[in-house]
Every structure is written in C-alpha cells, then in structure tokens.
C-alpha cells in the first residue's frame, strides 16, 4: 500500500476496496516496525489518526470524500498543531503544546488528510543534515549510516521509507529540496507567499516557505492544492489565483526554454552524477524542452548573503525564547539576568546559538550597514538576476546538490555544507518556486534534479516533473530494507 500514489489510494478508498481505518492501521504498523531504525518521528498521534479515519470512512460512505480523505501524512515538527507537542526539534520547545493549528495543518485536515504525527528536523530548521535535532539524527533509509539531509530530514525519510505518503516541510535555504534529493523523493518549495506561514515556528521570516515532500510530482500537486492559497492571518500571503495543480499535470511542454547555469555544475561531481544529469536532460529534450547554457553573475555571493540575512532574522525571531513566556525555563536561578542566560544557553543547541551570534553580530550598530544592509542590497541583485533570466526562459535547472548524501561521519561546518547546497539558496533569496525530483543513483544513494520557475508558476514545474516521471522510474524505487 505504501507504494501506491495518493490518486491510486484515493480511488481505492472511494470504491470501498479499502477503508481509511485499514489504511491508517497499515501505516501505523509500518511506523512501529521501521521508525526505530530511521528516527523520523518525534511524536506519533495514532489515537487522533484512528478517530480521523473513522470520520473519513463515514464521509466516504456518504459520498462526501474530499481531496485527501483518508490519506496518511505527517507534519514537520515546526508546524503548530493544536493540543499536540510542537518542538521544532529543540529542547527549548520540548514541552510546548500549541493552543492553535497552523493554517496548513488546518487546511489539510479540512481536506480529509490524516496526520500520523510530527516528524524530525534540524533544530529550528537550522542545518542541512538532520543532525542538529535535540531528538537525535534522522537516518537515511537508503543507507542508515548516511544523513537524510535537512532541515526537513524526518519528512523526506518518512516518505522514502513508506511510513506516510506525503509530509509537510519548510524551505528557508533548500530545506525541502536537499533532503528530497538525498532521500530519493520529490519536494516542492512554492513561491514565497503562495502557502501560509501562519503557525510555523519561524527561522528567517523573509525566506521561510512551507511546502510538500512526496514520492511523485503528482502527489505533491495534490497535497499542495490542499494547503496553498491566500490567508489573511499571514501578512506575507499573496492573494493570487490558486490553480488546480493536479489537473494541469499534462499541460504541453514542447518549446519551453530552460537555462542551465554553468555555476550549478561546478565542484566535485562524480561520474554517476554527471551521467544521471545527461540522461535526465535527454528525457526532457524528448518532452520538447530546449536548453541553453548561461552564467549567473552573482552565484558565488548566494551563500555569503544567506549567512548574513538568515541569521539576522533568526536572532530577532528567537529573542522570544527567554524562559518567561513559554518553552524551556532554567531552574534555581538567582536573578533575571541568570534566567535569560541559562535558559538560552541550556535550551538552544550549538548550531542555533552560533546563528544567533552571527545574526546579532551582523546587526550591531557598527556593522549594520556593512553586513546586513549590504547583504540585503546584494540579495536584491541576485533576485533581479533570476527574475531577468526567467523573462528569457521558463525554468532554471541543474543538479539539486552536487552529489548523494554524505556519511554521518562527514566533518564539515554548517557553512561548508551550505556551499555543497549552494544551488538551492538563490530560489529562496528571490522568492521563486523550486522543485527537486529523483534522477538516479550514485553508490546506492539517490540523486536529485532541480527546476526553478517563475513566481506563482508551480503548475508548470509540477507538470514538467510529472511528465519526466512518466518516462522514468527513479521516483518508484524503494530502499530495500523498507520495501
């Protein structure tokens, strides 16, 4: 059942060939059997899921099934869920139970989706390995000694291992697309403002965007359709038309132009990755896409700018965790200063603390103009470069990252890891939609291919990936130990 697409399972549910209760029990059994190896879940919500399945069965019996009725999903643990622990994988929020639902959680439930729990991630979404979590690293289902990627590590691993059919994620600097690539699933970061951020524990507010991870582009389209749209509770939400993504997957692709930035192909790329890229481009050419090589003038500045802007915003967002209002609170303190210092030093992990320090440093009175303002000016240039290029072409494309997932013993700083992921960050700085889909393997580990599109053109990205997947089988591959 875990090998089925959402549309296949939805058809079976509508015909009564299987019940939502049976589906929920099946996936609960898989989580209980396999997740001890992966560590993709922080909190399971089996009782609520069973109650939701009973409601779904009643709705289906009455012919009242909706877009996702009976479909098993999970939420990244920074998506607020009413009455359910929401930790952002941090000790700081290890006892936090929100009194409200994030808009995306509310909408997916309204469409009938059944959440089986909250999945692991890098703490406060800061990291690209899944290894900064207070609850331990998420293991890659393809090789348990390798990272699942980050920060949406649990989302990607749970989908790859068939523990759920889809999961929500968030993407601030590649945090959906990189783990999607590492775990051999499809992940889409929508346009900034397409999906509500209300109820998401924030990292960097001008970069964060909620999205979806699933096996296929078709499944991503169905889930994105259920969670996207204008939300007056989110001041950055855009009031634009919401297409039926799942009904536009067969739109013609012939004649679309795609830019291949030479910058995206730099660095140490193994033979298998290069071969997978060539084969992927051949499939797209047969679908009618035309490719042109380009050079991105500001590509080398993407990561430095990200490491000024994102930590600066994080330092402001995380100032609320002071041990007074909610979350972790240090005990046996003598005064207010000690409460602040100990709460924050004990509640945050090293990666989060380092980014708070970087962000605070960049915003000091003496350095504000040289770092933060200059970073925002260069961000504008990067955004304008992407926007100008996308007036000439329909997509920008290339490998999602330079190669497969690395070993958990891989020694590198978060900045060095982000240099490995540098193809991802430009789409965040420019607020553009971007998608990663599987394109092959290297040393038994998945590889991903990325498409970046024009603002609010998710439908065409999903259509391109879907039609590629109709002509390839990489997205159907399963880790042997979880088949």
Could you say which of 80, 175, 414, 418 is catalytic?
175
Residue 113's Cα: distance from chain center in Å? Answer: 18
Nearest to 214 by CA among 152, 144, 281: 152
Nearest to 463 by CA among 289, 227, 291, 230: 289
Nearest to 404 by CA among 216, 166, 148: 148
- Angle at alpha carbon of residue 245, lines to 242 and 250, rounded to 5°: 140
76 is annotated as an active-site residue: yes
Q: How many CB atoms lie within 10 A of CB 333?
A: 15
What is the C-alpha separation between 22 and 5, in angstroms, rounded?
16
**Torsion (CA) 373, 376, 380, 383 in degrees, nearest 10:** 170
Q: How many CB atoms lie within 10 A of CB 37?
A: 14
Strands 143-147 and 445-453: unpaired
Could you say which of 19, 40, 76, 118 is catalytic?
76
247 is annotated as an active-site residue: no
**Torsion (CA) 378, 382, 387, 390 in degrees, nearest 10:** 170
What is the C-alpha separation between 472 and 408, in angstroms, rounded?
30
Residues 6+ apart with CB under 8 A from 376: 309
3-state secondary structure (DSSP) of residue 290:
strand
**Torsion (CA) 77, 328, 199, 375 in degrees, nearest 10:** -90
Classify burial at 16, counting beta carbons within 10 Å of its beta carbon; exposed 0-12, middle 13-18, buried 19 or more: exposed
What is the C-alpha separation between 39 and 130, in angstroms, rounded?
10
Q: How many CB atoms lie within 10 A of CB 375?
A: 21
Could you say which of 80, 128, 133, 151 is catalytic?
151
3-state secondary structure (DSSP) of residue 418:
helix
- 3-state SS of 101-168 is CCHHHHHHHHCCCEEEEEECCCHHHCCCCCCCCCCCCCEECCEEEEECCCCCHHHHHHHHCCCCCEEE
* Omega within 30 of 0 (cis) for the link into 366: no
Q: Which residues pair with 170 in a beta bridge?
A: 210
Tell me the catalytic residues: 76, 151, 175
């Amino acid at each position: 059942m875990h090998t089925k697409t959402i549309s296949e399972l939805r058809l079976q549910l509508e015909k009564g060939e299987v019940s939502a209760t049976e589906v929920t029990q099946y996936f609960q059994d898989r989580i209980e059997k396999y997740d001890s190896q992966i560590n993709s879940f922080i909190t399971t919500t089996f009782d609520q899921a069973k109650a939701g399945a009973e409601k779904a069965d009643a709705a289906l019996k009455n012919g009242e099934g909706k877009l996702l009725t009976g479909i098993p999903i999970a939420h990244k643990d920074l998506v607020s869920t009413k009455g359910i622990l929401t930790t952002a994988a941090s000790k700081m929020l290890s006892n936090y139970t929100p009194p409200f639902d994030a808009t995306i959680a509310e909408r997916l439930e309204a469409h009938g989706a059944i959440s089986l729990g909250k999945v692991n991630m890098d703490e406060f979404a800061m990291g690209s390995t899944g290894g900064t979590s207070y609850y331990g690293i998420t293991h890659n289902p393809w090789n348990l000694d390798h990272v699942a990627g980050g920060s949406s590590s649990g989302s990607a691993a749970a989908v790859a291992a068939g523990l759920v059919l889809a999961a929500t994620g968030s993407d601030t600097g590649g945090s959906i697309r990189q783990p999607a690539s590492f775990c051999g699933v499809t992940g889409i970061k929508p346009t900034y403002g397409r999906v509500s951020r209300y109820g998401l524990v924030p990292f960097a507010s001008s970069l964060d965007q909620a999205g979806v991870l699933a096996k296929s582009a078709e499944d991503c389209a169905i889930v994105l359709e259920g969670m996207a749209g204008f939300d007056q509770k989110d001041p950055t939400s855009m009031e634009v038309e919401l297409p039926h993504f799942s009904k536009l997957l067969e739109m013609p692709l012939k004649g679309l132009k795609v830019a291949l930035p030479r910058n995206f192909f730099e660095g140490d790329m193994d033979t298998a990755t290069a071969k997978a890229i060539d084969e992927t481009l051949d499939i797209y050419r047969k679908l009618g896409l035309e490719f042109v090589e380009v050079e991105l003038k500001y590509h080398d500045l993407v990561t430095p700018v990200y490491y000024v802007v994102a930590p600066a915003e994080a330092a402001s967002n995380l100032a609320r965790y002071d041990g007074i209002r909610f979350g972790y609170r240090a005990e046996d303190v003598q005064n207010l200063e000690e409460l602040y210092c100990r709460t924050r030093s004990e509640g945050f992990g090293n990666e989060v603390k380092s980014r708070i320090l970087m962000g605070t440093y960049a915003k000091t009175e003496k350095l504000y103009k040289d770092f933060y303002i200059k970073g925002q000016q260069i961000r504008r240039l990067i955004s304008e470069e992407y926007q100008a290029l996308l007036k000439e072409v329909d997509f920008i494309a290339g490998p999602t990252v330079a190669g497969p997932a690395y070993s958990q013993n891989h020694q590198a700083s978060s900045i060095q890891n982000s240099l490995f992921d540098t193809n991802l960050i430009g789409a965040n700085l420019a607020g553009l939609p971007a998608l990663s889909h599987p394109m092959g393997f290297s040393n038994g580990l998945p590889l991903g291919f990325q498409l970046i599109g024009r603002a609010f053109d998710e439908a065409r990205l999903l259509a391109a990936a879907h039609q590629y997947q109709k002509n390839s089988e990489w997205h159907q591959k399963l880790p042997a130990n979880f088949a």
